[in-house]
Chain A
Amino acid sequence: MLAVIVSGLAIGAVYAAAALAYNVMFSTSKVLSVTTGHLFMLGSVFGAWFIGTLGWPIPLGLLGAIAVGAAFGWLTEIVAVRRVLARSDEHLWLLSTLALATMGQQAVGLWWGTEPRPFPRLIEQDFASGLADQKYWLPIGLVLVLALGLELFYRGTLWGKLFQATSEDAFAARARGIATDRVRSFSYLLAGALGGLAGFAAGQLTFAFFALGLQLTLFGFIALAVGGLGSNLGALVGGTALGLLSSVASYFFGGEFQHTIAVGLLMVVLLVKPEGLFGAKRVRPV
């Protein structure tokens, strides 16, 4: 049973990281990007390519994976968000990010192949270490560090304060002379880097697999919606809850019903508490 909990926590940490990435992008643009999960997929695929295929040293491979994630995040902002936000239609961003996500996934599938490929070992450790294995603890540790880091960043740095100001009220922020466009670009870059890093850390758990993206987009979103949109604490709690639930449920009922159960959780939470566990109540849609 301990094994079920540890593996649930590990995969839950990946969902939580995806929810964090959603939050970073949402705070400055009010956009939920379909490409969120694909940032993680790129982190793991490019990490595996840099280290496993090209033979780069691990730190360089890590930097490379972060850079690729950041680049895709930035690309999302330039191609799929910036132009679309200028228009009044509120749903266009969903379409444009969906289009970009589909293209990204298919391109990686054509280039990298559709079979999962191995991700290299990052730290010297015996494979028989059971539950102390790095594939569990790397994502769990990393997501805690990321959440803490984001919190410090928001509270302690000038850029973080700009983020918050933009997030609270973009018009007011612009009126006070904040270049909200640049803040938004930076937030996508940051989310991309975060996704690349987390995808890299979870690579040994997920393998380098092209279809990982869409799955994480969905499950990260469920974690986010359960925890509450905009709340980083909620992202952690939602991700953990979802990871544990999936793993315990498939322990008892087998793997045949895992989507049904995950979506069941989402529906229950949304019916009881539509803003999520830690989300702020949405005031009004006008």
Chain B
Amino acid sequence: MSTNARNLALAAAGALALLTLPYWAKDLYWLHLATLIGAYWILIAGLNLVTGYAGQLSIGHVGLLAVGAYGFAILAGTHGLDPFLSLLLCGALGGIAGLLLGLPSLRLPGFYFAMATMAFALIVTELSLALGGLTGGGTGLSVPGFPSPMNSPWGYYWLVLAVAAGVTWLTWNVARFMWGRALIAIRDSEVAAASAGIGLFRLKLTVFVFSGITAGIGGGLFASLQSYITPDTFVFEIGLFFFVCIIIGGRGTILGPFIGTVILTALPEIVAPLAKLGAFFYGLMLLIVVLLIPEGVGRLVEVLIRRFRGEPHRSHEVKPDLPRLASVLARKEDAA
């Protein structure tokens, strides 16, 4: 009961901190970073259900981000539609793209699926260049902002925060109830999950389409934050980045990937030499996490907190009791 209350208090404090961020952030640059993290998180929260829960390793979500971003730039910019309506349509567009990608590829085994998503990202870049009449080709498109009061950095931050909170709440609900359990079952063993009566493909597809919707919305908000998009914006490394955020944060949780997103976005900004290493840094982090703490940093923090609190450490390990065995054996020998 008391831990529950404490968790609730912690969550409330975190929410308050996020809500008041524009008042205590050092300057607009940090506010911009926070907004960027928010836009990324909207995508990552959805991707987390696909990768962290259902275990489908999509390394090409940057393609879906690009679909949303271009969708927003074309709808709200070229055609002058209402930005909020455009954002909703972006979600629909991302969902459709997710469906088109998921339908053939989610039937495939892991590596095949990963490669299919990577190829999808390359195809989106290719098409955004080739369909110059729609996307501006290599020159790209200017992206409009939102109407007042969302046109100020503060207003925009709150908008992104609100959407991010909504998406987080949705994924949290999915993860907590039967769905989430089913997804984890798929991740850990597809065969066992199927034998327990889980409709594998439909469930995977539903989650994947959901992640397409969040990627579309995240892409629209990302584009508006960037104010200009070109095909060069959506490099493969960003897709890798999303993916690494989840793995490093820890699969099967929501807080872990969130921490991963915050750290991986902010760290290269604070420590300049890391930015120089670029993708090498992401690769190294990924390797370390996979080899040493496959449950992710979030899990590590959890364990450390538990240890710090001094809660009893429950070991599931069965250790052989050697002295007792020796004594039993000795007795047997005596008998013989």
Residues of A that sit less than 8 Å from B by CB: 32, 79-80, 83-84, 87, 89-92, 94-96, 98-103, 105-107, 110, 214, 218, 221-222, 225, 256-260, 262-263, 266-267, 270-271, 274, 285-286
**Please, could you name 26 A-B residue pairs with CB atoms under 8 Å apart, sorted by A?**
A32-B111, A80-B287, A84-B290, A89-B294, A91-B110, A94-B57, A95-B290, A96-B287, A96-B290, A98-B59, A98-B114, A98-B283, A99-B283, A99-B284, A99-B286, A99-B290, A102-B240, A102-B283, A103-B283, A106-B277, A106-B279, A221-B115, A225-B112, A259-B119, A263-B116, A270-B112
Residue from B114, B116, B287 within 8 A of A99 (CB atoms): B287
Of the candidates B116, B122, B129, B280, the one whose C-beta lies within 8 Å of that of A106 is B280
| B232-286 interface (Cβ within 8 A of A) | 236, 240, 247, 277-280, 282-284, 286
Q: Which residue of A lies closest to B276 (CB)?
A: A110
Q: Are B55 and A91 in contact (CB under 8 A)?
A: yes
Q: Are B286 and A260 in contact (CB under 8 A)?
A: no
CB < 8 Å: which of B104, B126, B236, B287 contacts A271?
B104
A95 and B277 contact, CB distance less than 8 A = no
Among B115, B129, B190, chain A packs the most CB atoms within 10 A around the CB of B115
- Chain B hits for A285, CB < 8 A: 190-191
In the complex where A259-B126, A286-B191 touch, is A100 in contact with B283 (Cβ < 8 A)? yes
B112-159 contacts to A, CB under 8 A, are 112, 114-116, 118-120, 122-123, 126-127, 129-130
Q: Does B108 lie at the interface of the complex (its beta carbon under 8 Å from any beta carbon of A)?
A: yes
Is B291 part of the binding interface, using a Cβ–Cβ cutoff of 8 Å?
A: yes
The majority secondary structure among interface residues of chain B is helix
Contact-residue size bin, chain B (C-beta under 8 Å from the other chain):
35 or more
Q: Which of A100, A103, A267 has the most CB of B within 10 A?
A: A103
Cα A138 to Cα B95 in complex, Å, equals: 46
Q: How far is B119's CA from A84's CA once the two chains are assembled, in angstroms?
A: 26
A282 to B233, CA, bound (A): 40
Q: From residue B241, how far is it (CB to closest CB) to chain A in Å?
A: 11
Verify B130–A95 contact, CB threshold 8 A: no
User: In chain B, residues 148-193, which have Cβ atoms closer than 8 Å to a Cβ of chain A?
Assistant: 190-191
Contact A87 B126 (CB under 8 A): no
Contact (Cβ within 8 A) A270 B119: no
Which residues of B sit under 8 angstroms from A89, Cβ to Cβ? 294
- Using A95-B247, A267-B104 as known contacts, list a sample of 15 further A-B pairs with CB atoms less than 8 Å apart, ordered by residue number in A: A91-B110, A95-B290, A96-B290, A106-B278, A214-B236, A218-B119, A221-B111, A256-B130, A257-B130, A258-B126, A259-B126, A263-B119, A263-B123, A285-B191, A286-B191
Q: Are B287 and A270 in contact (CB under 8 A)?
A: no
> Which residues of chain A are near B282, meaning CB under 8 Å?
102
Contact with A along B85-125 (1 / 0, CB 8 A): 00000000000000000001001101110111011101100
